[in-house]
Structure 1
Amino acid sequence: MAKDTFLNGKTTLNVKGRLLDLSTPAVMAILNLTPDSFYGNSRSSSVDDALQRTEAFLKDGATFIDIGAYSSRPGAAEVSAEEELKRMLPVIAAITKKLPEAILSVDTFRAKVAKESIEAGAHIINDISAGGMDEAMFETVAQLQVPYIMMHMKGTPQTMQQNPHYENIGLEVLHYFSNKISTLKKLGVKDIILDPGFGFAKTLQHNYQLMQQMEHLQIPQLPLLVGVSRKSMIYKFLGTSPEEALNGTTVLNTIVLQKGARILRVHDVKEAVETIKILTLVQTS
């Protein structure tokens, strides 16, 4: 079991009493319960379909299943907390019953949805707004004492791409996280994961500048989660589509792993697991 040291940063998570080792990077599979997520092939239309996808993800080597019931793509339609829970809770219950070994992350910015999802069997909260869209989120995370993934974003999914501006994106994202980390630690939150938020409130150029400067985000010595899977920073640059962006995803996943990412959030688990295996072999040979 790897130890958390100043040199290698925090590499373990306490997941409801189970100590999870991230010294070798892990894969988080995306399970979309929304009808309008940007990549159509990732959508689950029923509880049975969600179960089948989860089984396949685990078989392919996923460590985490990230369940989302609110589309956060640019310009996505608003969804009520009630609708989000209506989509989310039956799937969490079904997976928890049939696949109890699955570690479930709930992708929500709402404290109410996070709390009820954790109580239903989920293990981790993944908040795209880092507490910015619900002032009760940080207190809720502290009360639940579960790992918390917080992402960098400006505005909301509806407004985030309206002329985002940065003077030095790497340092600004680091500053954004530093303030929030301080608040969370004062509340007693122990397991914090940082997500740079590629594709959120960032132009195509901003995304690649941030990737080049990812070393800044290792300063807090916390695990980094990166999600670039099939995003527009790939397919718009290459003039293709989300369906054709797997190769570009693998290239970027390789780069972010070399820059310190500990978790890859992806649509395509098998390919991400293979990327980690090959890169780990190269680095240890």
Structure 2
Amino acid sequence: MKRYYRPIAQTDAARPAGAVPLAGGWCWFSHAEVLTRAGSEGLVPVADLPEEVVARLSAPRAQMADIGFDRPSIMGILNVTPDSFSDGGKFDAPEVALARARALVAAGADMLDIGGESTRPGALEVPVEEEISRTAPVIAALRSGGFATPISIDTRKAAVAEATLAAGADLVNDVSAMLFDPAMEAVVAATQAPVCLMHAQGLPEGMQADPRYDNVLLDVYDHLEERLVAAEAAGIARARVLIDPGIGFGKTVAHNLALIRGLSLFHGFGCPLLLGVSRKRFIGTIGGAEAADARAPGTLAVTLAGLAQGAQMHRVHDVAEIAQGVRLFDAITRGYEQ
């Protein structure tokens, strides 16, 4: 029977002997919950876990696109689309997009995530040429203007990834985990670009119709494990992969909450974790915020829950607000120097 090991993440300064760092970051753990498809087998001390499991859970994550993962980082969202769920049409003019990019970095973004195709529930596919025309000129203009901050391209399409990496993007953020376009693996392998593999059940146009899982935490884990193995087989080193459980992509409110509660399980891949919860519908449902742009407080609450489980990168719209919260969390857990 397959066993899964969910480290019980802690941040307290009172740390027992034998505890080990979680992913080389600000959390530590002394026990892990052992999970199976039949249920939980309870907590096991670190000393009784398999050595290879402890090594994967505890090892520092390799730097990626000039981002280190020993501290929390923020990925600021820049959608150059007319139809994204909360900011569609606001930044699709090139000059407005460039100004927004600089504003996000000034507000505290460590990386920008630029997307030219909405993947909100119900969204339809954008032609490759149009997606390239929305994204590549903005990235090229930023780089030609001396913009040094790392840039991620949010795309499912190999041709878009190739064009935008050539224009100056540093990382590919693929919400299909390289399943949508079979050519994506070859592009990522050939360019040696880092890639984020995200879980999604179904395509955006129908993914929220009736999502079902046997066990959402373990189902998502198994899917991402399969995609990680496929990436390695294609020549993409594990050290170049981020993992994203895909909150809101083919998940109900209950599914999202279960994934956030069990988030530390995904450290078992030995990869940094990206958490993308910004302004999502479940935050509005639980928090009572109908308008997407009114969900910053709820986004911060979920971000802090992710930080408490060692999630290293956080993809957000409201960079200034979330950056402030992250700085406070970091000061409390790692210390503060004036």
- Pairwise CA distance, 1:6: 4.0
Unaligned runs of 5+ in 1: none
Q: Secondary structure at the match of 2:312?
A: strand
- 1:109 match: 156
Contact 1:14 1:146 in 2 (8 A): no
- 2:244 match: 195
- Pairwise CA distance, 1:237: 2.4
Contact 2:128 2:157 in 1 (8 A): yes
- Pairwise CA distance, 1:40: 2.8
- Residue 257 (str. 1) matches residue 307 (str. 2): yes
- 2:271 match: 222
Contact 1:153 1:200 in 2 (8 A): yes
- Pairwise CA distance, 1:3: 7.0
Q: How far, CA to CA, are the matches of 1:42 and 1:267 in structure 2? A: 14
- 2:231 match: 184
Aligned residues: 281
- Residue 118 (str. 1) matches residue 168 (str. 2): no
Which is further off, 275-284 or 217-226? Answer: 275-284
Unaligned runs of 5+ in 2: 1-22, 26-54
Task: Specify which of 275, 283, 288 is matched with residue 239 of structure 1.
Answer: 288
Q: How far, CA to CA, are the matches of 2:231 and 2:88 in structure 1? A: 36
- Pairwise CA distance, 1:28: 0.3
- 2:48 match: none
Q: How far, CA to CA, are the matches of 2:312 and 2:90 in structure 1? A: 25
Which is further off, 61-70 or 274-283? Answer: 274-283
Task: Specify which of 99, 115, 119 is matched with residue 68 of structure 1.
Answer: 115
Deviations 1:74-101 (A, max 9, x none): 0013210111011111101111111431
Q: Secondary structure at the match of 2:76?
A: strand
Q: Secondary structure at the match of 2:63?
A: strand
Q: Secondary structure at the match of 2:139?
A: helix
Q: How far, CA to CA, are the matches of 2:322 and 2:61 in structure 1? A: 19
Q: How far, CA to CA, are the matches of 1:143 and 1:27 in structure 2? A: 27
CA 224–42 in structure 1, closer or farther in 2 if over 3 Å, else same: farther
- 1:22 match: 69
Which is further off, 168-177 or 230-239? Answer: 230-239
Q: Secondary structure at the match of 1:27?
A: strand
- Residue 152 (str. 1) matches residue 199 (str. 2): yes
Q: Secondary structure at the match of 1:12?
A: coil
- Pairwise CA distance, 1:238: 2.8
**TM-score, normalized by length of structure 2?**
0.79
Q: Secondary structure at the match of 1:13?
A: coil
Indicate the RMSD between aligned Cα atoms, in angstroms.
1.8
- Residue 173 (str. 1) matches residue 186 (str. 2): no
CA 281–235 in structure 1, closer or farther in 2 if over 3 Å, else same: same
Q: How far, CA to CA, are the matches of 1:279 and 1:35 in structure 2? A: 35
**TM-score, normalized by length of structure 1?**
0.93
Q: How far, CA to CA, are the matches of 2:64 and 2:88 in structure 1? A: 32
Q: Secondary structure at the match of 2:91?
A: coil
Q: Which amino acid aligns with 2:62?
A: T
- Pairwise CA distance, 1:41: 7.2
Contact 1:96 1:102 in 2 (8 A): no
- 2:321 match: 271
- 1:46 match: 93
Task: Specify which of 138, 147, 155 is matched with residue 91 of structure 1.
Answer: 138
Q: Secondary structure at the match of 1:38?
A: coil
Q: Which amino acid aligns with 1:130?
A: A
Q: How far, CA to CA, are the matches of 2:312 and 2:126 in structure 1? A: 31
**Identical residues among aligned pairs (%):** 36
List 4+ stretches of structure 1 deviating above 6 A.
Answer: 2-5
- Residue 55 (str. 1) matches residue 105 (str. 2): no
